[in-house]
Amino acid sequence: MTIRRSSRIAFLLATVFAALTPIACDTAPAPNDPTGSQSASSSTGGAGGNAGAGGSSNGSGGAGASGSTSSSSSGAGGSSAGTEILHADFEKRAAGMYSESMVEGDFGFAAPWNNGLDEGRATIVEESGNRFLRVTYPANEVGPNQGGVQFKVPFGQTFDELYLSYRVRFAEGFQFVKGGKIPGLVGGSAPTGCVNDTTGFSARMMWRSGGGAVQYMYFPEKQNPCGDDFAYDTGNGPIAFQPGTWHTVEHRIVMNTPGENDGVLEAWFDGASALSQKAFSFRLAGATFGIDTLYFSTFFGGSDASWAPTAPQMVDFDDFVVSTGPITH
């Protein structure tokens, strides 16, 4: 009971923080999405349809519904070492432009559509013997269509609990402006774009002004129509990305029992606990979706020119891992 009360207090503080930050509505559509939905619009939910019925979590990691996969534990409890769902480190790629056809070879699952890859905004770069993915954001552009890169990596099944980790580096002198998106886990309709959609969730990250690191959430109880921020803090105040430095982020999502506030949202930043919400609701009563996709989503915005950089910017990504158990801690 004490944990739940403190979690609710933390939740209320996080929503107050969200109300004080600039609205980060995704506005640019994903024209290549074969479902006809939009990954970043003000009128529809996230790109890509549901990937099958997700099983419900029950606090003890019991079996999910048909077509789903339950992980080793759920609720507020911990997890043992798990099974990797995907691992992408780009080491087998030659330096040069990155294409949609390469996604399956690296991530293990094909991307059904993309923003920015066909336009050459993602490249493989080699540095000191290490290869990684670099995204270039054009000057004066916001959203994924004109600036940044997006593609989805659907797992082909749903999970009640997953961890995602990756490394990210913002270039020296990076213009954070008001903020932008970086990858996260999603499920169901994967809502974005300032929609009120309870048939899915999205858990991307954002950088905010000055590089502040937040988990950027769409879920049924969100307070801001355009998504709620949950700021990262390892105990010494809010965390910010440092340009020129590789940082490792790890997310943990545990789906709640439908209709109950027993889900988990956790994050680690460079190995240190930075976020812990253990009374979370990702789905309402009767919902059957679970975690089904890695959403590689990165762009400036926001929805207007006030979010745009004045010069081209670069962010590097490497070592993506999705697992049923802890990865970096």
Query: What's the pLDDT at 20?
Result: 45
| pTM attached to this predicted model | 0.80
Q: Is residue 270 part of a domain?
A: yes
The answer as to whether 124 is a domain residue is: yes
Residues 69/158, Cβ–Cβ less than 8 Å = yes
Domain presence at residue 328: no
In a domain, 119, yes or no: yes
Confidence of residue 24 (pLDDT cuts 50, 70, 90): low
Region 244-265: mean pLDDT is: 99
Residue 150 has pLDDT above 90, yes or no: yes
Q: What is the pLDDT of residues 128-141, one digit of tens each?
A: 999 999 999 999 99
Structure tokens at 42: 């003000």
What pLDDT score was predicted for residue 23? 53
Instruction: With respect to residue 177, please indicate whether it lies within any of the assigned structural domains.
Output: yes
Contact 296, 154 (CB under 8 A): no
pLDDT of res. 245: 99
Residue type, 173: G
**Using 50, 70 and 90 to split pLDDT, how confident is the model at 5?**
very low
Q: Which long-range contacts (CB under 8 A, 24 or more apart) does 195-198 make?
A: 195/42, 195/43, 195/44, 195/45, 196/225, 197/45, 197/46, 198/283, 198/284, 198/287
pLDDT tens per residue across span 213-247: 999 999 999 999 999 999 999 999 999 999 999 99
Name the β-bridge partners of 271.
none
Q: d(Cα 211, Cα 238) in Å, to the nearest integer?
A: 10
In percent, the amount of the chain with pLDDT more than 90 equals: 75
Say how many domains are in the chain: 1
Distance CA(132)–CA(40), nearest Å, equals: 26
109 has pLDDT over 60 = yes
Q: Measured between alpha carbons, how far is 276 from 318 in angstroms, rounded to an integer?
A: 24
Mean pLDDT rounded to a whole number for the chain: 84
CA dist., res. 217 & res. 221, Å (int):
10
Q: Are strands 96-97 and 291-300 parallel, antiparallel or unpaired?
A: unpaired
Say how far apart CA 149 and CA 181 lie, in whole Å.
Answer: 10
Biggest alpha carbon–alpha carbon distance for the chain:
54
C-alpha closest to that of 248 among 227, 210, 274, 276: 274
Structure tokens at 282: 């990702």
Looking at residue 230, its pLDDT comes to 98
> Is residue 329, in this structure, part of any structural domain at all?
no
Calculate mean pLDDT across residues 192-209.
97
Q: Provide the domain limits for residue 88.
A: 2-323
Going by C-beta distance under 8 Å and a sequence separation of 6 or more, which residues neighbour residue 173?
243
CA-CA distance, 181 to 57, in Å (whole number)?
A: 28
CA dist 21 and 23 (Å) reads: 6
Structure token digits, residue 156: 């082909």
1 residue type, one letter: M
- Residue 54 domain flag: yes
More confident residue, 203 or 6: 203
| Residue 81 confidence (pLDDT) | 78
Which range is least confidently modeled, 4-8, 72-76, 261-265?
72-76
Sequence-separated (6 or more) residues with CB below 8 Å from residue 131: 89, 90, 91, 93, 95, 124, 125
* Inter-CA distances, 107 with 171, 202, 317, 319, 322, Å: 24, 19, 13, 10, 10
- pLDDT one-digit tens code per residue, 9-19: 444 444 444 44
Tell me which of 13-22, 156-165, 262-271, 285-294 is least confident.
13-22
Label residue 25 by pLDDT band (50, 70, 90). Answer: low
Domain presence at residue 264 = yes
**Which CATH number is 158's domain given?**
2.60.120.200
Percent of the chain surpassing pLDDT 70: 76
Identify any residues that bridge with 231 across adjacent strands, giving them in sequence order: 214
Q: Mean pLDDT across the stretch 62-82?
A: 44
